[in-house]
Amino acid sequence: MSAVDAARQEFSSPLTERWEALKSLLQQESGDNNFRSWIMPITPKALSSGVLELAVPTRFMRDWVKTHYADRIQALWSQNFGALVRVDVTVSSVASPQRAIPVTLPAAANDTAVVADFSSPLDPRYTFDTFVVGASNALAAAAARKVAESDAALFNPLYIYGSVGLGKTHLLHATAAAVRLRKPQAVVAYMSAERFMYRFVQALRNKDTMSFKSFFRTADALLIDDIQFICGKESTQDEFLHAFNALIDHGKQVIVSADRPPHELDGTSDRLRSRLGMGLAVKVENTTPDLRVAILKSKTALLKRDVPLEVIDLLASRITSSVRELEGGLNRLIAHAELTGQPVSTAAALPLLQDLLRPNGRGATMDDIQKKTVEHYGLRIADMTSPRRTRAVARPRQVAMYLCKTLTEHSLPDIGRKFGGRDHTTVIHAVRTIEALIASDPVLARDVEALKREMTQVY
């Protein structure tokens, strides 16, 4: 008997019964943590005219369930119990009192008690389990884990920085979630610096900064994402600094992320900057090709999708700037495959990923280009600089000049010099010739594309 059948027998009310069956399906696919945080607290309220109404205890749960689960619930329901037009999620005090984010605030026991939780919801997908560790992020991941597992504040603050899309938010969510799991009674405040500012200004406007301040000062752990956005706003900075100092003085853990190291936070007061630099600052470096492959493999496993290794290599070698874009590329290919019923393949991938694939060969040098070009055409390096003009040598030389122009930042005279002291007009001529040939000669076009691809791989 399947879980669904079992659940079917167990309940008498048809709506509750079907909801319980659906829950067991959702549990299987979302994992225990997410299930406990987001699905368990949902109560089915009504089903009429194809609209399923679900109730949750708080507003942010409503928003979360709407954006992350409503579509899936609708699809599963339609598959198992007949078509649904829509899933409505509402906030209801009758709903199960279990909350995703436990908050112990000395506030009145009405709806405002819920609103006084200033924390932003956590993305349930961002856990330590789903974070792939490699050389570039090992230090940050280890520090975050350590903080999540310790009772005493260790490095205070833990300051995680690095460029966009490298997993800082993921690590902060994972840390917050792990602390909440380990200490369900703890108040773990997570939000972005932007949100912090917005809520503070709102509180000022409503002449109600009390609950805002007390929330942050009574937190057991405070995580602020993208602290660089707090720059320049003095009153908010002061407020943040007060909360920050109070927490640190009481031995409460503070974790912040930023796109730059503490001393480069322009527009913040010296006091705040030096406070932020007091703990441990760890950098998340750019990903390595190995890590990108590992992340893609982990994502495809999580999504239970078959993606050929060739496609994974293509993505990992051509989308190198941020993991967000890497994921975006993968999701696009999967969505396309699903819509067309075609398997994911390199051939299908290239045109779909045009805007994401690295447009220029960051890291490609003129030496690389000359070397790869002569290898490709079976020539010698000397042929790149020699005065010989026979087609077999001249054409590859033009290809190499064209690649230097499109893949590097070198000027035309610079390129000319690299090719045996040729004039810049010769380089212009080469670029124009190759551009024209790419349009008219498919063999040459393929050669150029292959060389470009080879050149834009960064190792």
The listed partner (Mg ion, ligand ADP, none) that binds 164, CB under 5 to 8 Å by sort, is ligand ADP
170 forms part of the interface with ligand ADP (CB under 6 A): yes
Helix (H) or strand (E) holding 280: strand 280-283
Question: Could you tell me which stretch among 71-79, 125-133, 350-358, 384-392 binds ligand ADP (CB under 6 A)?
Answer: 125-133
User: Three-class SS of residue 294?
Assistant: helix
For CA atoms 441, 446, 452, 454, the dihedral sign is negative
Pick 223 or 379: Cβ nearer ligand ADP: 223
Nearest approach, Cβ of residue 169 and Mg ion (Å): 3
Question: Could you tell me which stretch among 79-87, 162-170, 316-324, 377-385 binds Mg ion (CB under 5 A)?
Answer: 162-170
Pick 224 or 384: Cβ nearer Mg ion: 224
Question: Which residues, including other chains, have CB under 8 Å from residue 431's CB and lie 6 or more apart?
Answer: 401, 402, 405, 406
Pick 248 or 323: Cβ nearer ligand ADP: 323
Question: Looking only at residues 13 through 52 of this chain, which bind ligand ADP when binding is defined by CB under 6 A?
Answer: none
Question: Could you tell me which stretch among 36-44, 101-109, 167-175, 383-391 binds Mg ion (CB under 5 A)?
Answer: 167-175
Question: Which residues, including other chains, have CB under 8 Å from residue 218's CB and lie 6 or more apart?
Answer: 105, 187
143 forms part of the interface with ligand ADP (CB under 6 A): no
Q: Are strands 43-48 and 51-56 parallel, antiparallel or unpaired?
A: antiparallel
Candidates 36, 183, 324, 336; binder of ligand ADP (CB under 6 A) is: 324
The listed partner (Mg ion, ligand ADP, none) that binds 288, CB under 5 to 8 Å by sort, is none
* Tokens matching residue 95: 């709903």
Question: Which residues, including other chains, have CB under 8 Å from residue 195's CB and lie 6 or more apart?
Answer: 120
268 forms part of the interface with Mg ion (CB under 5 A): no
User: Three-class SS of residue 409?
Assistant: coil
Measured in degrees and rounded to the nearest 5, phi and psi for residue 219 equal -65, 150
CA atoms of 447 and 450, how far apart (whole Å):
5
How many CB atoms are located within 10 Å of the residue 196 CB? 26
Nearest approach, Cβ of residue 324 and Mg ion (Å): 9
Dmax of the chain from CA atoms?
90
Candidates 58, 136, 169, 253; binder of Mg ion (CB under 5 A) is: 169
Contacting residues toward Mg ion, per CB under 5 A: 168-169
Contacting residues toward ligand ADP, per CB under 6 A: 126, 130-132, 137, 164-170, 295, 323-324, 327
